[in-house]
Homo-oligomer: A and B are copies of this chain.
Amino acid sequence: MTEQGFFTEADSAEVVISRNAAAKDARLAEVMAVLIRHLHAAVKEIEPTEEEWLKAILFLSETGHMCSDWRQEFILLSDILGVSMLVDAINNRKPKGASESTVLGPFHVADAPELPMGANICLDQKGQPMRVHGRILDTEGNPIPGAKIDVWQANDEGFYDVQQKGIQPDFNLRGVFRTGADGSYHFRGVKPKFYPIPDDGPVGKLLRQLGRHPYRPAHLHYIIEAPGFDRLVTHIFDPDDPYIRSDAVFGVKESLMARFTPMTDPASGFEGEFLDLQFDFVLSRS
């Protein structure tokens, strides 16, 4: 920075930050200072040519043009750069022993039906039958009664109901359950399949250039809420999925694996073989 505050290469970030001194919002000024400092440091490390800078500008513009009421390409960009997971981690630090969070994803719907414990959320009988069960516990191992369990999953072809309106029944593979006195839950579904994030836009092209695939390993989504406890937004994953170590959005955590075990059990509600999936969730006190 010169005495007059003019731009110099050496002091570029501080020149820009000093110009924001009259910002109306202290938090905005703080956020911008951090962003400007890292952005300038990155540019100085990269030393982009003018052509590379223009490529970045055009990439951002195309990403913006891809955004609509139905598609959020900048969230996809945040996802594949691990930023969404980082923001999730920062906002959901849990005490030792509590279940870990992962990203919400775009397929939750607010008005899924509340179902009796044990219900089958698969409404079209397609796919490999699966029984899911476990308990909702506090960090001392006590059951949490009255916990609300909102679950949703892709079908055996890797699609959510909202992606296949008219093909899948409405509210297929979704349900809300409430635990009783013993904190346990159980319901029936089908084994979900891995699926790609939308990859026909600039983010998909970037993934290909980076030698990466767009797939998310098979998982079930959960939101679990109970009075006096932190809301838990998470998935459980199939450890045998081909993409378990390369989730395009980095959603997998080691603690969120649940093995799909083949089983027969007349009490399950299934006639023949089904997959048994057992997972206990531990909520932290709010």
Q: How far is the CA of A66 from the CA of B209 in the complex (A)?
A: 27
- Report B-chain residues with C-beta under 8 Å of the C-beta of A90: 9, 43-44, 47-48
Task: Establish whether residues B42 and A57, one from each chain, have CB atoms under 8 Å apart when the complex forms.
Answer: no
* Interface locus among A114-122, A136-144, A250-258, A270-278: A250-258
- Closest residue of chain B to A13 (Cβ to Cβ) is B82
Chain B CB within 8 A of A75 CB: yes
Partner-contacting stretch, out of A26-34, A154-162, A191-199? A26-34
- The answer to whether B28 and A210 have CB atoms under 8 Å apart is yes
**How many A residues, CB 8 Å from partner?**
79
B23 and A211 form a contact (CB under 8 A): yes
Instruction: Indicate which residue in B24, B37, B72, B253 contacts A7 across the interface (CB closer than 8 Å).
Output: B253
Cα(A2)–Cα(B257), bound, Å: 14
Contact residues of A between 5 and 58, Cβ < 8 Å to B:
5-9, 12-13, 15-16, 19-25, 28-32, 34-50, 52-53, 57
Interface residue SS majority, chain A: helix
Whether a CB of chain B sits under 8 angstroms from the CB of A98 is no
Determine whether the beta carbon of B65 is less than 8 Å from that of A22: no
Residues of B within 8 A of A65 (CB): 64-65, 67
Determine the distance from Cα of A84 to Cα of B53 in the docked complex, in whole angstroms: 8
Whether the Cβ atoms of A24 and B211 lie closer than 8 Å is yes
Q: Which residue on B lies nearest to A53, using beta carbons?
A: B87
CB neighbours of A220 from chain B (8 A) = none
Q: Bound state CA distance, A74 and B211, in angstroms?
A: 27
Residues of B within 8 A of A211 (CB): 20-24
Q: A83 near B: Cβ within 8 Å?
A: yes
Complex interface bits, A77-90 against B, C-beta within 8 A gives 1, otherwise 0? 01001111111111
Q: Is the CB of A2 within 8 A of B254?
A: yes
Please tell me if the beta carbons of B45 and A74 are within 8 angstroms of each other in the complex. Answer: no
Is there contact, CB below 8 Å, between B40 and A53? no
- Residue in chain B with minimal CB distance to A4: B245
List residues of chain B with CB within 8 A of the CB of A245: 4-6
Contacting residues, chain B, for A60 (C-beta < 8 A): 60, 63-64, 74
A72-B43 contact, Cβ under 8 Å, with A2-B254, A20-B212, A90-B48: no
A246 interfacial contact with B, CB 8 Å: yes
Question: Are B40 and A52 in contact, CB atoms less than 8 angstroms apart?
Answer: no
**A164 on the B face (CB < 8 A):** no
Among B40, B47, B50, B57, point to the contact of A82 (Cβ < 8 A).
B40
Given A22-B211, A31-B46, 5 more A-B residue pairs with CB atoms under 8 Å apart are: A9-B90, A36-B81, A38-B41, A40-B82, A40-B86
Give me the interface of A with B, judged by CB distance under 8 Å. Answer: 2, 4-9, 12-13, 15-16, 19-25, 28-32, 34-50, 52-53, 57, 60-67, 72-75, 78, 81-91, 93, 209-212, 245-246, 250-254
